[in-house]
Structure formats: C-alpha cells, structure tokens
C-alpha cells in the first residue's frame, strides 16, 4: 500500500513538472521570433492538444478512478500521456524551427502529428479496457471468497460460544478444516455450498437454543466440506 502511495506521489510531482514545462514552452514559443506561418499554427495547435491529452490521461488514471488498486493499474495510461506529450512538443518545436528556414507543405506536419495522436488514443483505450477487466476480476474474486471466509469466522465464533468441551473441540476442528479450504467459489460449488449453509444454520440455531446434540450435523457439514473441496479441485483448469 505504501509503495502505491509513493508511486502516486511521484506521478503527481511529474504532472506538476510537465505543467511547468509546458508553461515555459508556451512562453518561449511566443517570445522566440518564429515565422507565424500556417505550419507554426498547426504545430502550436497539436502542442496544445498534447497538454490536453496529458490532462485527460491524468483524469482517467487518478481522478475518475476511486480505488488505490485502480489507480495503480492506471499508471500505464499516464505513461502514454506523458510520452505523447514529450513527443508532440518535440515535433511541434522542430516544425516551428524548420518553417522559419524552409518551405514545408502542411501535410508533412499534419501526418506525423495525427499518427502519433492516433497511436496514443488507441493505446489508452486498450489499456483502459484491460484495467476495467482486471478490476472486475478482482471484485468478482473478492465476492467469490466471501462464502468460505464468512463460514470460517462464524464457526469459530460458535466454537467460542460452546462450553461443552467435546463439542467445542469438534467445532474447532471443523473451523480449521474450513480455514485451510480453497476460499474461491465458482458456479460448480453453488449447490453444495447452499447445503452447507442450511446445515450450519441448523447447528447455529440449536447452539443458540442451548442444545448440544449437534454432532451429527457437524459431521454432515464436514462431509459436505470434503465434497466441496473435491469438486473445487475437479473444476480447476489443468
């Protein structure tokens, strides 16, 4: 987590630095006596586009994205914006210098500027799509592990509530078995997990009512857990 925060702090400093660079660049462009031709105007417009694109990349990477993990996954987007910004400023400056000494056709300026802009946009779109998918996978995985983790916590809490030693020991062993089970659920396990929930609900209800004759239900839950583990192993891709 600290590493992510440090990366974000570093990227923020870079953004400030690039804003200063562009401000200085903008001042120099109008102070240096370049020939104010159509080539100069085109070059300057693309330079402005580059700073707007860089700002858009920063927005997508850090402002629109709310989670720290999402921000971390968005760092490549900011990297693309930064590279495009540098490349376009270099091209714009080069063409401004050349147009002061040479006659240049407008297409010579427009074609490379449009091409690098298009490449930057396409790369940003694909990275944004990949980032969204990775976030969705992370959210789905978090949801899929909730069943087994919740069951472990609830069995552990129930074991602490019981005073009868043999029953406490049996629940504690079941809690350990659940703890070391694969926490990731999938569609194949939905039926057996539903049965496990029903059996545990019976155990929990009986214990809360002061009944201690729940060992058969505990054994049944343990057998269902073993069945779940076998199904989980089978359903994993080889």
Query: For the residues 28-54, what does the mean pLDDT come to?
Result: 88
Boundaries of every domain in the chain: 2-140, 146-235
- What's residue 126's pLDDT? 83
Question: How crowded is the C-beta side of 107, counted as CA atoms within 13 Å?
Answer: 0
Query: Residues near 232 by Cβ (< 8 Å), separated by ≥ 6?
Result: 181, 182, 184, 186, 188, 189
Residues constituting the chain: 238
Could you tell me the two tokens for 117?
């802009």
Cα(122)–Cα(114) distance, rounded to whole angstroms? 12
State how far the alpha carbon of 31 is from the alpha carbons of 83, 120, 211, in Å.
26, 30, 89
Could you tell me the two tokens for 49?
């586009």
Give CA 14 to chain center in angstroms: 21
Q: Are 66 and 132 in contact (CB under 8 A)?
A: no
- What's residue 65's pLDDT? 61
How many other CB atoms sit within 10 Å of the CB of residue 52?
Answer: 11
Q: What average pLDDT does the structure give for the chain?
A: 82
- What's residue 76's pLDDT? 80
Could you tell me the two tokens for 168?
């406490």
Higher pLDDT, 78 or 169: 169
Query: For the residues 219-230, what does the mean pLDDT come to?
Result: 91
In the numeric block, the tokens 């159509």 are attached to 38
Kindly indicate the confidence band of residue 154, based on its pLDDT and cuts at 50, 70 and 90: very high
Cα(121)–Cα(20) distance, rounded to whole angstroms? 24
- Reference 229, options 194, 183, 195; nearest CA is 183
Q: Which of 8-17, 38-47, 193-202 has the lowest mean pLDDT?
A: 8-17
State how far the alpha carbon of 14 is from the alpha carbons of 46, 47, 55, 124, 188, in Å.
21, 18, 12, 19, 48
**pTM of the predicted model as reported, rounded to 2 decimal places:** 0.53
Residues 10, 12, 13, 18, Cα dihedral to 10°:
130
């Amino acid at each position: 987590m600290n590493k992510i925060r440090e990366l974000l702090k570093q990227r923020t400093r870079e953004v400030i630095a690039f804003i200063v660079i562009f401000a200085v660049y903008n001042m120099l462009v109008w102070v240096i006596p370049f020939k104010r031709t159509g080539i100069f105007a085109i070059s300057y417009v693309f330079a402005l586009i580059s700073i707007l694109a860089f700002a858009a990349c920063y927005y997508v990477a850090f402002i629109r994205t709310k989670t720290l993990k999402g921000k971390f996954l968005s760092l490549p987007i900011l990297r693309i914006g930064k590279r495009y910004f540098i490349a376009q400023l270099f091209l714009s400056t080069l063409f401004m210098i050349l147009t002061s000494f040479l006659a240049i056709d407008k297409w010579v300026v427009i074609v490379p500027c449009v091409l690098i802009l298009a490449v930057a946009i396409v790369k940003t779109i694909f990275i944004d799509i990949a980032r969204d998918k990775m976030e969705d996978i992370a959210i789905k995985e978090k949801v899929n592990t909730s069943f087994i983790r919740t069951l472990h916590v609830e069995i552990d809490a129930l074991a602490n509530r019981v005073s009868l030693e043999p029953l406490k020991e049996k629940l504690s062993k079941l809690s350990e078995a659940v703890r070391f089970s694969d926490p990731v659920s999938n569609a194949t396990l939905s039926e057996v997990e539903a049965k496990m929930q029903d059996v545990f609900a019976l155990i929990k209800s009986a214990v809360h009512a002061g009944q201690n004759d729940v060992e058969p239900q505990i054994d049944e839950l343990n057998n269902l857990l073993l069945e779940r583990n076998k199904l989980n192993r089978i359903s994993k891709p080889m």
